[in-house]
Structure 1
Amino acid sequence: MVEETKERDLFSRGLALHRAGELREAVDYYRRAIAANPEAAEPYNALGGALANLGETDAAFEALQTAIEKDSSFLDPHLHLATLWRLRGEPFKGEPLLRRALELDNKSWPVWMELGAALMMQNHFAAAAECFEQVLA
């Protein structure tokens, strides 16, 4: 319980720094939260986001994949990892992650939006339009 409280405190501090744009400091706190509780998925997800924003995409990929391994029912790292694949120009690699995210929550408009963008990049325009319609539904 003490380790979990420590992890939550470190993670909360990391989030505050992240929101303030202090990404390097946020990364440090996320890593400390992970050290306090290596089984928690949220710090890995947040670490992946901060690293991606810093341009450290290989490390971001690794952190997000670890978040999914820690908690396969956590939607956010599926979405974030798929977004990185799209930004890397390989949206087809993120598509299964987005489909899994929709299994977790088929009402998540950010997932529908990202899936639509990924499908557009693959020239699947009709399927992309269906995704965008889900955003507006």
Structure 2
Amino acid sequence: MPRTRLVTLLASCLLLAALSLAGQGPSDSRRRIPGQINGSVQFKGGAAVVNSVIVYLESEMGEIIQQTSLVGNARFRFEGLDRAPYVVRAKAPGYRDATYRVDLRLMPTASAVLTLYAEPENTPGAPAGLGSTEPTVTVGTLLVPESAQQEFAKGEEALNQNALPEALGHFEKAVEIYPQYYQAYLSLGTVYMDQAKWAEAEKALKRSLEINDKFAPGYTALGALYNRQGKPAEAQPLLERSVELEPQSWQAHFELAQTLLLENRTAEAEPHLGRAHELKPEFPLVHFLLGKISLAKGDLMTARTEFQHFLDVAPDHPLAAPVRQKVADIDRAPAAKP
């Protein structure tokens, strides 16, 4: 496909999705960053190496939402989470369960370190009750003043109600109270993007990364901003850094794919679209772009399959009508018939 046509295609796509870090369509103008919990498990007493550790992510009601298996002192990550309270629970044979409570309502990212203590019979003389405590933490309470956290929470609540000016005011107050509040700067930047205030968005997102240069969502958001402005050369290093920091981030892979498509580097973009799909199968715009790429290659059947996946996942999406028309066009094309 000629570069000008591809840029035109992506312009419409970017307006609808490139900045949607929470996977929302344009009918929902808020940009609520998905939650993520990173953590590790450590051991006291017992075997030198523990080969079977299971970490559960549970709701407050005890429902298991995600789980992962680890070997030894490995790290874990749960992502794509609703902004809600959770319990992280670790289990290993010969050890007492450890739990850690995390509240993602105030900030999108959390860290949890769980310590598993060997059962008394496995560690002679071990005092009773070790590992039975369940520390309750609200992410950032050790550093961020409570008043700043409250403003941040009010901003998130305003976003839930699509009240962008109100949300903006609360986020601005949060960073005024605590100037190192990099998560609030991220939210500030995404609200500014919703309002097409590019300079203000860029300033807020850059400030977020100045405070924390390992904050992957900040790189993703700033790269998305440059994508929307048609500046792939500026977006690419930021998004590559985001993928490096958080290789399991579907948003980073998706944004990087769009950057590469804007540069007409389709072959390099496809693996990132594929990875985004693996990590977020229900995200419809991956299928939309894969369909467009297949169409440009003349692979009508693959294009139709991808477009149909898009319609199955997002039948009410603003792009659904033109995609249905494209499917109908393919069905009428002689090459598409058996």
Q: Shorter chain as normaliser: what TM range?
A: over 0.9
Of 96, 102, 113, 2:237 maps to 96
Could you tell me which residue of structure 1 aligns to residue 209 of structure 2? 68
Give the secondary structure class of the aligned counterpart of 1:65.
helix
Of Structure 1 and Structure 2, the greater helix share is in 1
Of 33, 37, 45, 2:174 maps to 33
Counting matched residue pairs gives 137
Q: Aligned partners of 2:191 and 2:277: how far apart in 1?
A: 29
Could you tell me which residue of structure 2 aligns to residue 135 of structure 1? 276
Please list every run of 5 or more consecutive structure 2 residues that lacks an aligned counterpart in the other structure: 1-141, 279-338
Instruction: Show CA shifts across 1:48-89 (max 9, x none).
Output: 011111121110110001001111111111111111101101
**Deviation at residue 2 of structure 1 after TM alignment:** 9.3
* TM-score for the superposition, normalised by structure 2: 0.39
1:8-27 correspondence to structure 2 within 5 Å? 8-27=149-168
RMSD, aligned CA: 1.4
Checking the alignment, whether the CA contact within 8 Å between 1:3 and 1:36 is kept in structure 2 is no
Of Structure 1 and Structure 2, the greater strand share is in 2
Could you tell me which residue of structure 2 aligns to residue 51 of structure 1? 192
Q: Aligned partners of 1:3 and 1:110: how far apart in 2?
A: 27
Q: Which has the larger radius of gyration?
A: 2
Instruction: Show CA shifts across 1:76-132 (max 9, x none).
Output: 111111111011011110111111111111111111111011101101110001111
Give the secondary structure class of the aligned counterpart of 1:21.
coil
Percent sequence identity over matched residues?
A: 24
Q: Aligned partners of 2:235 and 2:197: how far apart in 1?
A: 18
Q: Aligned partners of 1:40 and 1:3: how far apart in 2?
A: 7
* TM-score for the superposition, normalised by structure 1: 0.95
Q: Aligned partners of 1:9 and 1:35: how far apart in 2?
A: 13
Please list every run of 5 or more consecutive structure 1 residues that lacks an aligned counterpart in the other structure: none
* Deviation >4 Å, runs of 4+: none
